Amino acid sequence: MSNIIDGKAFAEGLRADIASRVGKLKAEHNLTPGLAVVLVGEDPASEVYVRNKARQTVEVGMASVEHKLDAQTPESDLLALIDTLNKDDAIHGILVQLPLPKHIDESKVLDSIHYEKDVDGFHLTNVGLLSTGGDGVVPCTPLGSIMMLKDRLGSLSGKNAVVVGRSNIVGKPMAALLLAESCTVTIAHSRTQNLDEVCRSADILVAAVGRPEMIPGDWIKPGAAVIDVGINRIERDGKKKLVGDVDFASAAPVAGAITPVPGGVGPMTIACLLHNTVQQACRQHKIEMPAA
């Protein structure tokens, strides 16, 4: 088996499972899960994400609704839209695309989404459920990362896991998931001393710092599993390129398993969003998630 973890193929398999579950929800419960995506402003990267989300939602048989609001939209209008979506029975998941314009309070908006319609796992109730071992919704990028790790390694119990990065979206929930799998978890960050040594102690290394190729191969324990969450756009030799937080060229020969950029964690994120939408639709209708 190659030591490269093919996130694109894994995500395709996951979407096929989701499509099968959606088919059963329609046939057996007359339920079509619906996802609403709200985009405020015209950030080009966000527009690409939102378009891909909508396309893949429809491809697995779910309903997709998009709301595009002007960059100057007052916070109160956005909160009013979320209130309407919270009350709409055809909508089971609500995603407000981040980042939001500066004049809008991000945490206020995220917490205004009903926690049973939150598909990002950003609502404080879902954050609390994750850190106390409850069955809330889990943020998409860490969820995709843990799925790939478990698929490749089987049990993660007792392994030393190092997460580089402490963001609310990736680092902290990733650490919580690894802890729930009985790993010994270290969260490292920009102030960590001897970061190279800390990384070398990892059986599982998750890089989520947003700094292009900052982790070289000689920071990696031979045979370790490396999950690279970074998506950095750089220019090299006059060409635009997408690279991770790990220097893939020097890391791949050392790692036992490694996700490439692109084609690793990235494709899993939207697949996990679709998974979370199905999970929330089942929860709202008090039915078990059907087998794939």
List residues near ligand GUN by CB under 6 A.
49, 95-98, 120, 140, 269
Smallest gap from Cβ 68 to ligand GUN, in A, equals 15
Q: What is the largest CA-CA distance in the chain?
A: 56
- CB 116 to ligand GUN: min, Å: 17
Measured from the CB atom, the residue of 120 and 245 that comes closer to ligand GUN is 120
Angle of helix 265-284 relative to helix 140-153, nearest 10 degrees?
A: 110
SS3 69: strand
Query: CA 285, 64, 136 angle in degrees (round to 5)?
Result: 40
CB of 273 to ligand GUN, least distance (A): 7
Closest approach of Cβ 203 to ligand GUN, in Å?
A: 27
Of the pair 116, 120, the CB lying nearest ligand GUN is at: 120
Q: How many helices (H) and strands (E) does the chain have?
A: 10, 10
Nearest residue to 292 via CA among 34, 10, 22: 22
CA-CA-CA-CA torsion for 242, 247, 249, 251, nearest 10 degrees? -140
Which one of the listed residues 117, 118, 120, 279 is annotated catalytic? 120
Question: In the complex with ligand GUN, which residue's Cβ is closer, 159 or 173?
Answer: 173
Helices (H), 88-218: 106-112, 124-131, 140-153, 171-180, 195-200
- Which residue is closest to ligand GUN by CB? 98
Distance CA 7, CA 11 (A): 6
Would you list the DSSP string of 18-41?
Answer: HHHHHHHHHHHH----EEEEEEES
CB of 37 to ligand GUN, least distance (A): 8
Q: Is residue 193 flagged as an active site residue?
A: no
Which residue's CB is nearer to ligand GUN, number 25 or number 231?
A: 231
**Distances from the Cα of 149 to the Cα of 6, 10, 135, 145, 259, angstroms:** 12, 11, 20, 6, 10
Catalytic annotation present for 97: yes
Which lies closer to ligand GUN via its Cβ, residue 46 or residue 184? Answer: 46
> Which C-beta is closer to ligand GUN: that of 260 or that of 266?
266
Q: Which residues contact 43 (CB under 8 A, 6 or more apart)?
A: 99
Of the residues 97, 203, 221, 245, only one is catalytic, namely 97
Least distance in angstroms from the C-beta of 164 to ligand GUN: 19
Distance of CA 177 to the CA centre of its chain: 12
Where in the sequence numbering do the catalytic residues fall?
53, 97, 120
